[in-house]
Each structure stands twice: as structure tokens, then as C-alpha cells.
Amino acid sequence: MISETEPILELENVSMEFDGRYLFRGLKLQLRPNEVIGLTGPSGSGKSTILRIAIDLITPTSGTIKCNGKDIMNCDPREVRKKLILVPQQTSMFPGTVRENLLWGLKINGLESSDTELEQILREVKIEPSFLDKIAENLSGGEKQRIGIARALLLSPDALLLDEPTSALDERSTMAVETTINEVVERRNIGVLIVTHDKEQARRFTSRIIDLEGYQ
Amino acid sequence: MQFEMIIQAFQDILLNEENLAAIYAYIAAMVLLVVLVMISRWQRLGIVDKLLIGTVRGTIQIILMALILIQIFALENVFILYIVLLFMCSFAAYTVKSNLKNIPGVFVPSFVGIIIGGLSVITLCLLLGIIPPSGDYKLGEFMIPMGGMVIGNAMNISTLVIERMWSNAQKQRSLMETALALGATPYQATEMTIKESMRTGLLPNLNRYASLGIVTIPGLMSGMIIGGANPLFAAFYQVIVFIMIFLAQVVDAELVSRLFLKEMFNLRYQIIVPPPVS
């Protein structure tokens, strides 16, 4: 169900041309708090590109992107990226432990956190607090994905943009990630825009689906 | 008349017994070069052109330098010596650019980095009275060879830092995007690469520094001793040169990395490095 509050993220008539071909044209999207939107479409239709456009990592060919009502072209890109955090498909871990990875985002933004807070955030994404001292690079795909979500949540974003968060996971890990996302949305009242090639998954746990096939 | 003088100068060089011995040694050393080229070809290291062109170019450069070195070493005018060092810095930056042909915008960051890194260290040494040492020494005898070593090492670390930053932006794009997505500035997103390339760039000299006198007998010290200097005097100056090199390399790397970021990111903190050509 779409809430009546102001959208966190708004895409107005966004088009992206690449190598003389439109990936998508005239895309419209509004993401509100407490909402999970699924972005589906065939391979190469620009699903991941939309997430990068939303946080100003790529500039679209045309269209406007607003974050909390403001055109992102008039905002500091760092401020936009702190409000809308992208967790990429193969979540990259910085060299070092899980603790160092969790603290990385905080440190660059001049923030700190105690071990108790880190343990709490790990519990929120269903990871044992004992993982804090593990080498992040050695974790499984599902664990890395959830650490990536925890790392983003520590910055208290308004929305998470998840790029195929379960594409490389088995069924059990997929369910764990989906449950985590749903609980996080409910608890924190944030919005989630999730890219998935799996239409069944989109139907299962998103409140609205946008199929890019309709924008080509 | 002038032509006859040039011929005479060449005859003087060639007829000198010592020079003839050096020319023989140079020709004989081409056997080593052939072996090196064969190994490089076999292993497809992609450095054969650089080795061959470098040998021809380097030989011409060093012979010309040798012919004018006596005059330069005898110089006492700081202004002229700085012009010579500035020329060396320009050539060093041009060398970095030539070695990184596929990377855009290399010259300006390396030129600024080498000039500030190299010349600030030389200037500091002049102000502290480290060069020239008190006694019957010419300023050029110290400023040019020491400047050459400092500039050469600054050139090496410039090449390494720029190459690593560029290739990591291509190969580890996902990690860089993850950092930007968490609100990192371009410098924060590349900081790990910069630090790693600085450590890598300093490592060969740190190894030489650690084994100084036991494994490594550096050129400056050997040259000074062969030239008749007091060994203790030469030893002190060798350590000074290492400290100068380290400082110049660190200053250079910090500057080059910061200046080169504008070739990798635009004002909206987006990565503008193209993906690697597969």
C-alpha cells in the first residue's frame, strides 16, 4: 500500500540512452517511506543503471531525480548518497574485519559507533555479533549482502537501493535476506527499491512492481 | 672551422684509451641486452620497444650529459642550476606521460608533483646548509646529481601511483562505487589504492636503505669515493640522499594522487574512468 507521505525518491520522465540505443524512456517512479518497490525487466534493460542514476553515480540522458523533494542536481552528491544508500549486486567488502567494514561508512562521514551498537545492527540483519572480528572478504555471499545492508543502515538512510540482493544465494539465504529487508522496512520506516530479475520474488515481497519492459 | 672543431672533439674522445675501453664494454654489453630482449619476447612482457628505444635514447642523453656535466658541475649560480633542475623535472614528467600513453591527463599532475616534491626538498637542503657542504665544493657538484636522484625517484613513484589509481578504478570499480555510495569523496574512495601504491613505490628504496653498505653500495657513495672523497663524508651524504628521496617521493605521491583525481571523477563525484578494454 502506498503511503500518503512525501516521496523519498522521485524519478520524473527519466530516459537513458547508451550507444545510440535507449535502455528505457520516460520512467516515472515514486518511493515512499515504509514501501518496497520491485524493479524488474529483462537482462540489459537498465535495472541496475536506474539505481546508479538515483544516487547520482550516473547522469541520465534526460529527466529529473528528486530526493526528499529536491532536485539532486542542486544537491551535494554526498548528501544524496547518505539518504539513499545503494547496496550493489556483489557487495564489495573493504579489506579488514566486519567491524572495520561497518565503521568505514561512519568514519568517512565523521561519525562513530560503539561495539554494542554494531552488535545490535548485526542482530538486526540476522548476523551473529561474533562476526565482528571475522575477515569480511571470507564471508559467504548472503552474509556479505547482509553486512552490506548493516553498513548502510548504520548511516540511518531514508531508503535502501538493493541491486539483485539474492541473485547468487540459495533458497534458504534468499528467504533470510527477504525477511531481514521486510523487518528493517517495518522497524525503521524506510523505503526500499529492489532490483530483481525474479518476478516471483518481486510479487512475493514488494508492495509494487515496476516492469522496465513497459518503458522501452 | 666549427665543423673541424667538432671532428677534433670526437677524435679526442675516440682516441682516448680509457674511452675506447668503455666503448668496447658498451658494445659487449649489448649481448646482455639481446638476452634481455629474448626473455622479454619469450615471456611477452611487452617491454621490448621500451628497452630498445630506451637504450638508444638513454645512451645519447647520457653521452650529451657527460659532455656538459663538467660545465654544469662547475656552476655556482643557483638560478641557472634551478633552470637545469626544472628542465630535468619537465623531462621526468614527459617520461611519465610517455610510459602511461593510455591514461589521459598524466603530464600536469606528475609535472607539479615532481617539481614540488623534488625542488622543495632541494631548496630545504640549500636553506639548511646541507648542500653544498662547507669546504672547497662547487654547488653544482652536489645540487645536480642529488637533484637528479630525487627527481628520478619522484618520477618513478608518480608513474606507479597514477597507474595503480587508474587500473584500480577499472578493475575494482565495484569497491570504489561502494565507497562513493556510502558518501565517500573521490579521495576517500581511492585512499586505499593511493596508500598501497605509495608503500609499493617506497619499498625498493626502503630495501636498499635497510641493506645500505652491506648489500647495497649506492652510486653516489661509490662515485664520491672513486672521485677521491673521504669515505665517511660519502657515507653521510648517501644517507642524506636516501632521506631526501623518501621525502620527495611522499610529497610527490600525495600531490600527484590528489591532482590526478580530477581525471578519474567529475564534479558530481561520478567515476569517469572507462571500463577496461576486453
Domain that holds residue B144: 77-278
Lowest-pLDDT choice from A106-110, A203-207, B202-206? A203-207
CB B143, CB B81: distance < 8 Å:
yes
Answer whether residue A36 shows pLDDT above 80. Answer: yes
pLDDT tens, B36-73?
Answer: 999 999 998 888 998 999 999 999 988 887 777 777 77
pLDDT tens, B140-162?
Answer: 888 988 999 999 999 999 999 99
On whether both B68 and B103 belong to a single domain, the answer is no
Q: Residue A148: its chain B contacts at CB < 8 A? A: 178
Strand A9-18's sheet: what is its strand order?
A21-31, A9-18, A62-67, A70-71
pLDDT tens, B7-23?
Answer: 776 677 667 777 788 88
On whether both B231 and B99 belong to a single domain, the answer is yes
CB A93, CB A136: distance < 8 Å:
yes
On whether both B144 and B277 belong to a single domain, the answer is yes
Q: How confident is the model at residue B215 (pLDDT cuts 50, 70, 90)?
A: confident
Among candidates B103, B131, B96, which has minimal Cα distance to B274?
Answer: B103
CATH of the domain at A108: 3.40.50.300
Strand A84-87's sheet: what is its strand order?
A84-87, A159-163, A191-195, A36-40, A208-211
CA distance A91 to chain B (A): 8
In a domain, A2, yes or no: no
Domain tally, chain A: 1
Q: For residue B183, give the nearest of A88, A90, A108 by CB distance.
A: A108
pTM listed for this prediction: 0.81
Taken as a whole, chain A contains a residue count of 216
CA distance A49 to chain B (A): 13
Domain tally, chain B: 2
B174 touches chain A (CB under 8 A): yes
On whether both B83 and B117 belong to a single domain, the answer is yes
